[in-house]
Structure 1
Amino acid sequence: MKLSEADAALFYELMWALQFYVKQQLKLLPEIKTFQQYIDASVEDKVQVREALYAHPNLIDEFLQANPPGFSEDKLAIIAQWKQFIAGDFYIERILKKYTIFIGQDDRVYGVVGLQEELEDIFYMAQLPLLVKAVLLPFKDRIIYDGLFQGYNIYFGSGISGNLKEIYLTAKQRGEIIETLAESPTRSVTSPPGKPLKDWTPELAELLATASKLKGGGGQPAINSPVFSLIKASIELGQAAVSQSEDNQQIWKLLSKVEQSVRKVERCLYRQ
């Protein structure tokens, strides 16, 4: 996912104007005199001004008050939100159709969209996870980055990769993926509002009724009895999971029963 061409152009229009103001106030890059010269400046020059901006966030308020370009109130409102920027190191864990998953400090998970390019065109999925230094910004109820990344040449093994995956899956399951940096951030939800969830209770009840007829012994292979117990325990766990009850204690109890059944199956296999 990336911004539309119009929104990407708007972002750069606002960011370059703000950075040019910072350059002037801090007397950086004296050889650059005009706004157009700054737009055409090298990335290295812009990085110098960019770092100064985040080191002096008070200049955002000064820019908003002075408004040298004569921006509209809507444009100024976008820039005002940038005071909520988040700078630091982020793990890029995966790239989804909706956004790219960034994991920051305190295991916070962000959904970030690209600017002019899809992030999958910048980072290869096979390289993930990656650690980058970046700045996240709010933009029209979405999260973007400010156009620059600093990568670290670090390879992550299965241990760290697995931990990052678990952080993402936990945030996804809890609806805690941060999708905007507004003061009351919206977070992802596990199902679209208004879309009814399917009730699996009848199917599971029918399965349990059928599974209850499964009996081991009587000259059958020894593996049958523990496997049949595992089937019944698994269905009971499924019933508790779809019951929409908040009694997690019961789910844990039934999960323990499933694990015990699995161990019985394993012991039976080892005896063979």
Structure 2
Amino acid sequence: MVLSNEQSKLFYDLWIPLLDYINQKYKLVKELYGMTSPKGLPIESVMKITTKLWEDVSVIDEYLNLHLDKMKKEQVTIMKGWKKVVHGKFVVERHLKSGSVLVSCDKEEVYIVCGIYSSWREMLDGFPMPQIVQTSLIPFDNVIIHDGIVQPDGICLGKNMADEARQIYLNAKEKDSLIKVILS
């Protein structure tokens, strides 16, 4: 599953100016000052900016305070939700109609995560499944998405690890504890 075109546009309309603000505030990647679109952005440069963002999410409040008069309440709520980010390594265990199943490598937590413009199946095409990825999960409009940075390990999991991830997913499904929205 992916966001609708309208949702994807809203995400990037909020996300790119925030990244631009952080980039300029901390003077990270001078050649990206004034970025307005996700198209053609070098992933390494964006990673540098998102890393700075996730080091101290209070910068989101700072950004919102500067732009509050130009934003709708819904937009502010969405951006405040990003402070609930979940970082880590995850096993992409399977793809469902409602999103892809990401099993945390650190905790027995299972997330149902949507793509932004591309589905997880499309993003990981060519990589062996199940696949370990490193990413940051954020809430968006009653679903979970990633922050635009998905780093696949590209390593084929052994049978034991793949079976363990599958069992964690099945247990969470049975207990109805699949995380579809990040609340805390």
**Same fold (TM > 0.5):** yes
Structure 1 or 2: larger strand share?
2
Q: Residue in 2 aligned with 1:135?
A: 136
Which residue identity lines up with residue 129 of structure 1 in the other structure? Answer: P
Unaligned runs of at least 5 residues, structure 1: 184-272
Q: Structure 1's 44 and 68: CA in aligned 2 closer, same or farther, altered over 3 A?
A: farther
* Structure 1 residues 17-36: Cα deviation after superposition (integer angstroms, max 9, x where no partner): 11111112112223444243
- Spell out the pairing of 1:1-272 with structure 2 (5 A cutoff): 1-36=1-36, 41-67=41-67, 70-104=70-104, 105-124=106-125, 127-183=128-184
Residue 108 and residue 125 in structure 1: after superposition, are their counterparts in 2 closer, same or farther (change >3 A)? farther
Percent identity, aligned pairs only, is 27
- The 3-state SS of whatever aligns with 1:136 is strand
Does the residue aligned with 1:94 lie in a helix, a strand or coil? Answer: strand
Evaluate the alpha carbon distance shift between residue 53 and residue 177 of structure 1 in structure 2; reply closer, same or farther with a 3 A threshold.
Answer: same
CA distance in 1, matches of 2:97, 2:18: 31
- Give me the whole-angstrom Cα distance separating, in 2, the residues matched to 1:4 and 1:121: 16
Instruction: Supply the distance in 2 between the matched residues of 1:112 and 1:37 (Cα, whole angstroms).
Output: 23
Residue 87 of structure 1: SS of its match in structure 2?
strand
Cα deviation, 1:214-240, whole Å, max 9, x if unaligned, reads xxxxxxxxxxxxxxxxxxxxxxxxxxx
CA RMSD across the alignment:
2.1
Q: Cα distance, 1:106 vs. partner?
A: 1.3
Q: Secondary structure at the match of 1:106?
A: coil
The 3-state SS of whatever aligns with 1:21 is helix
Q: Which has the larger radius of gyration?
A: 1
4+ residue stretches of structure 1 with deviation over 3 A?
Answer: 35-41
Q: Can you give the 5+ residue segments of structure 2 that lack an aligned partner in the other structure?
A: none
Say if 2:22 and 2:53, in contact at 8 Å, map to a contact too: yes
Shift of 1:37: 8.1
TM-score, L = length of structure 1 = 0.63
Relative contact order, higher structure (CA 8 A, sep 6+): 2
How many pairs align? 183
Displacement of 1:56: 2.1
Q: Distance in 1 between matches of 2:51 and 2:149?
A: 11
Equivalent residue letter for 1:157:
G
Larger helix proportion of the pair: 1
